[in-house]
């Protein structure tokens, strides 16, 4: 989904700390490159996925990102990788990636992986260790641990910075808030139901 590279590599100069908006407005189509003479083997190496993120949270899920912000060597290469850890019963909650498809490769345990198409069709599979499932770009999707033990997947993207829109967080945790009336009308429920949902997702 990203533009094609125009050189062998372009290791990003300290992209950490940039957010999507600043990177796209100031350095489109990626981050500035380190001078090639200062590039070393470690720029192409990423070790953060040797361990997983904690799943000790209400979702029972931990995602360790491996996008260009975490792994500067990915700059201009059009791909990235996350590690997803799920406790038994844990869910990586409904979300979309506006800039990328996602290949989910399960390494341990078993997950129900699913997405909904623009036609409103729900496609899903229980995916086990060694198996993969693909989420088309922009589709709302999740992973849900349906096994007895911990589950782990690597998720691979055809973008260096796929972006993530968390469905519940976006709608009920926006800052400033989306008006209750708009949400109540959109979901065809009363304002109290919206307030309850907001209470789960508002920060601070
Ligand atoms: C999983 O859906 C991920 O975005 O890493
Ligand atoms: Mn995803």
The model's pLDDT over 85-105, given as tens digits with 9 standing for 90+, comes to 999 999 999 999 999 999 999
Handedness of CA 195, 196, 199, 201 (dihedral sign): negative
- Distance between CA atoms of 32 and 29, rounded to whole angstroms? 9
pLDDT at 25: 43
If you take atom 1 of ligand 1, which residue's CA is the nearest one?
155
Q: Which residues pair with 165 in a beta bridge?
A: 96
Percent of the chain with pLDDT over 70: 92
- Distance between CA atoms of 101 and 78, rounded to whole angstroms? 11
Is residue 80 within 6 Å of ligand 1 at its C-beta? Answer: no
Is residue 63 within 6 Å of ligand 1 at its C-beta? Answer: yes
Q: How confident is the model at residue 19 (pLDDT cuts 50, 70, 90)?
A: very low
For the chain, give the mean pLDDT. 92
Tell me whether 0.90 is exceeded by the ipTM.
yes
Cα-only R_g, the chain: 19
pLDDT at 1: 73
Is residue 96 within 6 Å of ligand 1 at its C-beta? Answer: no
In the chain, what are the domains?
20-162 (2.60.120.10), 173-204 (no CATH)
Q: What are the pLDDT digits (tens) for 145-201?
A: 999 999 999 999 999 999 999 999 999 999 999 999 999 999 999 999 999 999 999
């Amino acid at each position: 989904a990203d533009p094609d590279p125009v050189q062998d590599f372009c290791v990003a100069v300290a992209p950490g700390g940039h957010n999507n908006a600043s990177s796209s407005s100031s350095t489109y189509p990626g981050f500035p490159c380190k001078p090639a003479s200062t590039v070393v083997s470690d720029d192409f190496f990423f070790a953060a996925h040797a361990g997983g993120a904690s799943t000790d949270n209400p979702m029972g899920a931990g995602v360790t990102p491996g996008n260009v912000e975490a792994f500067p060597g990915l700059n201009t290469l059009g791909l990235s990788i996350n590690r997803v850890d799920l406790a038994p019963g844990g869910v990586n909650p409904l979300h979309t990636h506006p800039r990328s498809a996602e290949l989910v490769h399960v390494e341990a345990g078993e997950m129900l992986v699913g997405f909904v198409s623009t036609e409103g069709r729900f496609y899903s599979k229980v995916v086990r260790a060694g198996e993969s499932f693909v989420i088309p770009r922009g589709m709302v999707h999740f992973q849900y641990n349906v096994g007895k033990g911990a589950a782990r997947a690597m998720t691979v993207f055809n973008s260096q910075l796929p972006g993530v829109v968390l469905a519940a967080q976006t709608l009920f945790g926006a800052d400033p808030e989306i008006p209750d009336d708009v949400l109540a009308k959109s979901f065809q429920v009363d304002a109290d139901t919206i307030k309850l949902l907001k209470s789960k997702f508002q920060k601070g």
